[in-house]
Structure 1
Amino acid sequence: MDIHAQKKRIYLFLIILTVASAMGLQGWRTLINNFAVEAAGLDGLGMGVVQSVREIPGFLALLVVYLLLIIREHRLAALSVLIMGLGVAGTGLFPSVWGLALTTLVMSFGFHYFETCNQSLTLQHFDSATAPIVFGRLRGMMSVGNLIMGGAIFILAPVLEYTQLFALVGVAVAVAGASMLWFEPRGGQTEPQRKTMVLRWKYWLYYLLTFLAGARRQIFVAFSVFLLVERFGFSVREVTALFVLNNAINWFAGPWIGRAVVRLGERRVLSVEYAGLVLVFMVYAQTGSKAVVALMYVLDHLLFNCAFAIRTYFQKIAKPADIAPSMAVGFTINHIAAVVVPVTGGLLWLVDPAMVFYAGAGLALVSLVCVQLIRTPAAS
């Protein structure tokens, strides 16, 4: 199947904004932990507060449904990337808990609202046999962008201040979003989308898997790099080097996993992800080796590529008109636990950091059991 021949403009549109968004998040994540510790003086609880604030826009992603009443979905996607860039650009100006909370909130509104539109547009414009391949290729392209971003920070970190680094990253992302505001991504006829919130009993497993993924993922996002920095003393350049390695691997792994979903199905691919995550979190909790924890971080990042299989599973069981509102509702469900987990994890961290990762292993184990219930029309 030649994606470029059939859906060239929408595919190009998605690539540009997806890469820009990924590079913005990559730059922010690469810098934020060291900035928080070195410039703002945050401890585990303070970092948990910032990370919880970061998830509030994800919890409010259902509002995308109502924004679509006044703005077209692809335009909202571009505007969201622009807003994300502005949030990243301002991060270095406010080295305090509440300053970071404010800029993180702006950045996160842009990121989460773009991701809601991005997933929706992909599922609308590409069929169930093609969407996993598109998601995989987009993951690969994200990794290319992240490699560029990681390499730039690796080179510039020794010579620029945090304020300048955040500004450079954010302005680049904002320019990419602005450039796509009036782009018309023609990709063929799609089913008109419902402009109201959709909740259906037939989608219960999708909702549950999305909820569990949000809770488990936040443990990784909020505390894995923080573990590397606080407990194992990773520097900005070492964290950046890990990000570069991750993205070099995922450049090839993303498309490969997309093809694996098509060949093997969502149930098998997600089973591999969650079985691997049980191992990763248990090792996080117990290891005292800097090399081992770095290896687990790379494996964790690799397994995350499988997560889009939850959305392609939904595509196979959903009514076409439900895709846009369901992606918005799904993001909100994903972030119900995510708003609470970082702060709760921060409190556990003060008692014993291992407890945070044991909880992650438990969530991964529950997810592994639940994915065995996946049934699709093609596989039934």
Structure 2
Amino acid sequence: MAAARLATIRISMQDDRDFTLFIIVGFLIGISSGIVNSVFNNFLNDIYHLSASDRGIVEIPRELPGLLIVFVLAALSFLGDVKIARIAMLSACLGLVGLGFLSPTFSLMIVFMMVFSLGQHLFMPISPSIGMNLSKPEEYGMRLAKLNAYNLIATLIGFALVWIGFSFLQFDYRTAFALAAVFYLFAAVVLSLMKKSEPHHKKFKMVFRKQYTLYYILCIVNGARKQIFLTFAPWVLIQCFHLSPPNFAVLGVVIAVISIVTRTVVGKAIDVKGERFILSLEAVLLFVLCLGYAFAGDLFSSSVALVITAICYILDNSMSTVEMARSTYLKKIVIDPADTTHTLAMGTSLDHIVSMSIPVFGGMLWVAAGYKYVFLFAAVIALLNFILSLKIRVKKVH
């Protein structure tokens, strides 16, 4: 009895150590994300001079790794989550080095953008899986919120580096990408220190179960709405209101500060109110934000429209934390705990089926009718997301 209790304490201490290391990983990734998110769209606009339709088309190769991630993760499943996460960090690092130093042509930029995107998308389903595996069921929401909060605090550093660098230190896009690559490399090093035991299965594994159908549909619908915001919200601010990298860095700081609070609140609300409440509320708020994006330019002067659009951009990005509610919903309904990572990966791939096509359609719609109709389309998707969220049912965790 005493030996069993000692073993339990030892496992708990190991989990806490690994969780702390994983927080550091998230912190380092946050700095990189703050840098890349502040400059990437301006990089495309300033270096390659893309139109709105071109920007939509670029999303096809950018999101292709996300579509294929279920197969990549299945092939790498014998390595275990932590080792796969290290590969993801190295891929992101290599992609950023390529974007900064090895992309004199548009074609080469596409190649290295895909390498970077592969690292990002490989980490997406792995991150919540590792976080929840290091947590008790009743703590899923709060533990993921803690990881996300430290990640967001770190993005403040990334945004600050961009603002200071481009405003006072003559940074260029090459410098920004190199700096972000270094932090991804550090994250890979920290991951190598984690000693969480790896899964026992050593074979190619994919999971697609009928019982997870609602989760898959939620991922698809969310992917459509999310990709419109990710692709065209910053493009509106760049093309219509001429915002620069330092401007986006300032917006990023505001987003991070707000999100540090919202992630903790959302994490606690998931544990108390449940995923159905959180995802339904998110859908309603996103519907309102879509209308703000769509009509600000028609109803107000350009200066007021800029403020309203920027507020929509800030609030939209601040709600990205709700993504963890989809992860905790899945964790609570899985038939086999070993399904978690692979089902998260399947969700990511299904998400990216629409993520690859929606920006192309959105770009053509922008050119043909104006960006207002792109966001009205997003509002319809948000409404569908609300209807689906009401169908969520999970057992209470005691």
Whether these two folds match at TM > 0.5 is: yes
Distance 2:181 2:194 in 1: 24
Distance 1:39 1:333 in 2: 32
Q: 1:342 to 1:263 in 2, by over 3 A?
A: same
Between the aligned residues of both structures, percent identity stands at 28
- 1:57 aligned to which of 62, 65, 82: 65
Worse-matched range after superposition: 313-322 or 204-213? 313-322
- 2:325 aligned to which of 301, 306, 309: 309
Q: Which structure 1 segments of 5+ residues have no match? A: none
Q: Where does residue 124 of structure 1 map in the other structure?
A: 133
Q: Where does residue 274 of structure 1 map in the other structure?
A: 283
Instruction: Please say if residues 273 and 303 of structure 1, whose CA atoms lie closer than 8 Å, have aligned partners that are also in contact.
Output: yes
TM-score (norm 2): 0.89
Worse-matched range after superposition: 22-31 or 356-365? 22-31
- 1:149 aligned to which of 149, 153, 158: 158
Instruction: Please say if residues 132 and 140 of structure 2, whose CA atoms lie closer than 8 Å, have aligned partners that are also in contact.
Output: yes
Worse-matched range after superposition: 277-286 or 123-132? 123-132
Secondary structure of 2:205's partner?
coil
Q: Deviations over 1:61-95 (max 9, x none)?
A: 11244333442320110121121022123223426
Q: 1:130 to 1:255 in 2, by over 3 A?
A: same
Instruction: Please say if residues 86 and 174 of structure 1, whose CA atoms lie closer than 8 Å, have aligned partners that are also in contact.
Output: no
Q: Where does residue 263 of structure 2 map in the other structure?
A: 254
Q: Where does residue 110 of structure 1 map in the other structure?
A: 119
Please list, as runs of the form range in 1=range in 2, the aligned pairs for 1:21-32 lying within 5 A after superposition: 21-32=29-40
Q: Where does residue 171 of structure 2 map in the other structure?
A: 160
Q: Where does residue 42 of structure 2 map in the other structure?
A: 34
Matched residue count: 376
Q: 1:117 to 1:25 in 2, by over 3 A?
A: same
Distance 1:349 1:97 in 2: 23
Distance 1:193 1:274 in 2: 39
Pairwise CA RMSD of aligned residues? 2.2
TM-superposed CA distance for 1:333, in Å, is 1.0
TM-score (norm 1): 0.93
Answering whether residue 362 of structure 2 is matched by residue 345 of structure 1, we say yes
Instruction: Please say if residues 228 and 374 of structure 2, whose CA atoms lie closer than 8 Å, have aligned partners that are also in contact.
Output: yes
Please list, as runs of the form range in 1=range in 2, the aligned pairs for 1:89-238 lying within 5 A after superposition: 89-93=97-101, 94=103, 96-158=105-167, 159-177=170-188, 179-180=189-190, 182-186=192-196, 195-238=204-247
TM-superposed CA distance for 1:7, in Å, is 2.3
Distance 1:332 1:127 in 2: 27
TM-superposed CA distance for 1:191, in Å, is 8.5
Q: Which structure 2 segments of 5+ residues have no match? A: 1-10, 298-304
AA at the equivalent of 2:345: A
Q: Where does residue 321 of structure 1 map in the other structure?
A: 338
Instruction: Please say if residues 28 and 166 of structure 1, whose CA atoms lie closer than 8 Å, have aligned partners that are also in contact.
Output: yes
AA at the equivalent of 1:377: K
Secondary structure of 2:84's partner?
helix
Q: Where does residue 4 of structure 2 map in the other structure?
A: none
TM-superposed CA distance for 1:211, in Å, is 0.8
Secondary structure of 2:243's partner?
coil
Distance 1:293 1:269 in 2: 24
Distance 1:318 1:53 in 2: 31
Secondary structure of 1:215's partner?
helix
Answering whether residue 84 of structure 2 is matched by residue 76 of structure 1, we say yes
Worse-matched range after superposition: 341-350 or 275-284? 341-350
Distance 1:130 1:193 in 2: 29
Instruction: Please say if residues 132 and 143 of structure 2, whose CA atoms lie closer than 8 Å, have aligned partners that are also in contact.
Output: no
TM-superposed CA distance for 1:96, in Å, is 4.9
Distance 2:144 2:203 in 1: 23
Q: Where does residue 379 of structure 2 map in the other structure?
A: 361
